[in-house]
Amino acid sequence: MNIETSLKKLFSLHTFGIKFGLDNTIGFLNYLKNPQEEIKAIHIAGSNGKGSTASFISSILQEQGYKVGLYTSPHFVKFNERIVINGKQINNEYISSFINEHEKYIDDHQLTFFEVTTAMAFQYFKEMNPNYCVIETGLGGRLDATNVLKPLAAVITTISLEHTNVLGNTIKQITEEKAAIIKNGSKVFIGNLKNEAVKIVERKCKETSSTLFKLNDFVSENNNEVELIIDDLILKPDPPLRGKFQRFNSALASLTVAKTFSLWHKDAYLKGIENVATNTGLQGRYEYYHRQPTIIFDSAHNPESVESFLNEFNSEANKYKSRKVIFGAMRDKDIEAMLKALSKHFDEILLTEIKYERAAKTEDLKALCKSLNIACKVINEPANIVEQFKSKERDCCLAVLGSIYLLGEIKEKLLERVT
């Protein structure tokens, strides 16, 4: 089975949708002789920032001299981006071999795409034997396929209302779902959570005899600067990614590494933060795809991350004489809140539909805009718009956001034109 056939088989498993519960994952891992039990992992959940924080942790550990596995989702262009060791993606041969060898079990048990991908990552990490692995949850925590780990540390970045049809429609319910990654006697790290969420995490830590570290107890901020103080280690994170929220993500990552591993080499933290893209392949976070005219890709996918994007965008918005945004989102997100926020900062909203089963339809997006009295236009080929925009006047701006899947589709098509 070649890589094209293997990936076609793997992506066809989306037919089974998302299954909530760990029985399938546990059964498959038992069949694989439980590779997850040999992984020394840091487990990360959160509504926003978990991918960036995971990448910062991995990069910092690499700069300390460790071999580090990184499992994130979704991918932008290539499936291989999901499973990485020290910046090197899993190879096509391994993917094909895994799917070919276990195809009968996968079919017989109707495993989902994420269940198979997670098990593949664990098996790969077991065989490649990295020192540590950083594992990002897919959705939620309690019933997520990754929640079979007994991690060295659990990290919860942020909590906001998302996937309410699955995780619950209150901060309390969503926090309880994500806090389920906390296991007995582990170290737990949280970012800037609302008080209601903090109390739930504190209760969970007490129930599991876990030690809680709150980022707010270790940081101070002054304007755009964030200072992290851990014992004798003082850091002013300066990530290459735009936005103060990325300073907090890198600070949370630094706190996690420092308190989990007792590593105190200041230069390694600073280099890990600075070299995060090179060390991990991180992309799509306020990423300048083109300059003059400006084209920005950002993976903001819910109201909180859109607000973070806009807070940063405001610092440069006035220099553009025209501002457009391409927007596509998953239907289970708070699309109304995102569109309201974007309409205040962009002259034109270009609506598009992502080729994914959970994607919002353009006709529904257009109807919502009409009800909100927001001017919009439906486009069918967003990659063409991006390409054509390069020839616009130098002081114009186009942003692309709403979903990582949208960025991935556009990047893939743009890459095809280059190659």
Residue 355: pLDDT band (50, 70, 90) is confident
The predicted pLDDT at position 357 comes to 79
The 3 state secondary structure assigned to the chain is: CCHHHHHHHHHHHHHHCCCCCCHHHHHHHHHCCCHHHHCCEEEEECCCCHHHHHHHHHHHHHHCCCCEEEECCCCCCCHHHHEEECCEECCHHHHHHHHHHHHHHHHHCCCCHHHHHHHHHHHHHHHHCCCEEEEECCCCCCCCCCCCCCCCEEEECCCCCCCHHHHCCCHHHHHHHHHCCCCCCCEEEECCCCHHHHHHHHHHHHHCCCEEEEHHHCEEEECCEEEEEECCEEECCCCCCCCHHHHHHHHHHHHHHHHHHCCCCHHHHHHHHHCHHHHHCCCCCCEEEECCCEEEECCCCCHHHHHHHHHHHHHHHCCCCEEEEEECCECCCCHHHHHHHHHCCCCEEEECCCCCCCECCHHHHHHHHHHCCCCEEECCCHHHHHHHHCCCCCCEEEEEECCHHHHHHHHHHHHHHHC
Of residues 416 and 410, more confidently modeled: 410
Q: Note whether 5 and 115 are within 8 A (CB).
A: no
Q: Please, what are the domains in the chain?
A: 3-280 (3.40.1190.10), 287-418 (3.90.190.20)
The predicted pLDDT at position 164 comes to 46
Residue 332: pLDDT band (50, 70, 90) is confident
Is the pLDDT assigned to residue 5 strictly greater than 80? yes
Average pLDDT of the segment spanning 241-259: 94
Is the pLDDT assigned to residue 16 strictly greater than 60? no
The predicted pLDDT at position 18 comes to 60
For 89-98, the pLDDT digits (tens) are 999 999 999 9
For 174-231, the pLDDT digits (tens) are 999 999 999 999 999 999 999 999 999 999 999 999 999 999 999 998 877 899 999 8
φ, ψ (nearest 5 deg) of residue 71: -120, 115
The predicted pLDDT at position 328 comes to 95
As a residue count, the chain comes to 419
The predicted pLDDT at position 290 comes to 94
Average pLDDT of the segment spanning 164-173: 67
The predicted pLDDT at position 85 comes to 98
For 106-140, the pLDDT digits (tens) are 999 999 999 999 999 999 999 999 999 999 998 77
Query: Structure pTM?
Result: 0.91
The predicted pLDDT at position 225 comes to 87
Average pLDDT of the segment spanning 389-411: 92
Is the pLDDT assigned to residue 165 strictly greater than 70? no
The predicted pLDDT at position 139 comes to 79
